[in-house]
């Protein structure tokens, strides 16, 4: 995993790319209705660093995104992810294959997007690209969690609106673990942002909503996160600091991402 991240970093630093896309969303969890244009390639390095409660060790979870516009309304994306915990160990935690479909290309007051993802992960995964179900993260040793594998299917309904320089987006998530009997787990996210020249500040909220086996009650994780995207050639830098709002949530989640976009013939 470390060699993969280093190789991807070298690619991002050495390859000539086009300027950052103005419509790059500043959110890390919430999706809006903008998809890649046909033939566009988007590559990003990102990481989630968590500061847990109750004396659990902090962790750092990097991931690589490779996103491609198959058509002007269908974007597909591959994720490779890992994790490391000081004095505990590191692990490659798996991969995800994501697809987003925009049924209508023209912009409307509310723009729907359908999202489907297959995940092949182990229980050491901590990037928290979405939060579903209930209960805190499992802080058992990484060496144990890496051997507990899961195959999961995830779907989202994405609703998004552009109003001038503002964007408002809402996501509803459903996830099914095919390896265990956990029912169908639910989650949500929502965000608002405003373009201001090269900067796009915003805020997002996200968390779990229990499952078909129970609502989760006080065991739900919820976060609120100011976000900021800086669109500066040749790429886009995004940062976020999320504060946990409930007892099972980590105290803080720090996220950072740097991305480049490549167009055919550029």
Tokens found for residue 255: 């996220």
As a whole number of angstroms, the distance between CA 135 and CA 56 comes to: 15
In DSSP notation, 182-214 reads: --EEEEEEEEEEE-BTTEEEEEEEEEEEEETTB
Q: Which residues of 201-214 are buried (b: 16+ CB within 10 A; e: fewer)?
A: ebbbbbbbbbbeee
What confidence score (pLDDT) does residue 18 get?
Answer: 44
Domains of the chain: 2-262 (2.40.160.40)
As a whole number of angstroms, the distance between CA 161 and CA 36 comes to: 17
- Average pLDDT per consecutive 10 residues, the chain (266 residues; last block may be shorter): 48 44 81 96 97 93 98 98 94 98 95 98 96 93 94 98 97 94 93 96 97 84 98 93 97 97 80
Closest C-alpha to 213, from 175, 249, 179, 246: 175
The answer to whether residues 79 and 63 touch, using CB atoms and an 8 Å cutoff, is: yes
Query: Tokens 């800086």 label which residue?
Result: 230
The answer to whether residues 220 and 214 touch, using CB atoms and an 8 Å cutoff, is: no
Query: Tokens 């928290």 label which residue?
Result: 128
Q: How many CA atoms lie within 13 A of 264 on its CB side?
A: 9
What confidence score (pLDDT) does residue 181 get?
Answer: 79
- Strand segments (E) across the chain: 41-51, 59-69, 74-85, 89-101, 111-122, 149-163, 166-177, 184-194, 199-211, 222-232, 235-244, 252-262
pTM of the model: 0.90
As a whole number of angstroms, the distance between CA 238 and CA 241 comes to: 11
How many Cβ atoms sit within 10 Å of the Cβ of residue 72?
14
What confidence score (pLDDT) does residue 266 get?
Answer: 59
């Amino acid at each position: 995993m470390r060699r993969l991240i280093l190789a991807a970093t070298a690619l991002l630093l050495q390859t000539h790319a086009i300027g950052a896309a103005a419509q790059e969303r500043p959110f890390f969890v919430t999706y809006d209705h903008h998809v890649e244009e046909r033939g566009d390639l988007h590559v990003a390095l990102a990481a989630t660093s968590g500061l847990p409660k109750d004396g659990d060790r902090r962790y750092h979870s990097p991931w690589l995104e490779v996103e491609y516009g198959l058509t002007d309304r269908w974007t597909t994306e591959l994720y490779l992810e890992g994790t490391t915990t000081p004095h505990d160990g590191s692990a490659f935690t798996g991969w995800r294959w994501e697809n987003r479909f925009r049924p209508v290309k023209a912009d409307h007051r509310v723009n729907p997007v359908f999202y489907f993802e297959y995940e092949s992960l182990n229980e050491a995964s901590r990037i928290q690209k979405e939060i579903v179900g209930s209960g805190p993260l499992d802080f058992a040793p990484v060496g144990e969690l890496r051997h507990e594998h899961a195959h999961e299917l995830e779907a989202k309904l994405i609703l998004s609106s552009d109003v001038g320089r503002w964007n408002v987006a809402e996501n509803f998530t459903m996830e099914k673990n095919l390896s265990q009997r956990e029912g169908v787990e639910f989650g949500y996210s929502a965000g608002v942002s405003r373009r201001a020249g090269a900067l796009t500040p915003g805020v997002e909220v996200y968390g779990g909503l229990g499952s078909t086996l129970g609502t989760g009650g006080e065991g739900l994780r919820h976060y609120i996160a100011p976000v900021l995207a800086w669109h500066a050639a040749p790429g886009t830098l995004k940062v976020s600091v999320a504060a946990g709002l409930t007892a099972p949530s980590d105290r803080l989640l720090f996220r950072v991402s740097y991305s480049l976009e490549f167009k055919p013939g550029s």
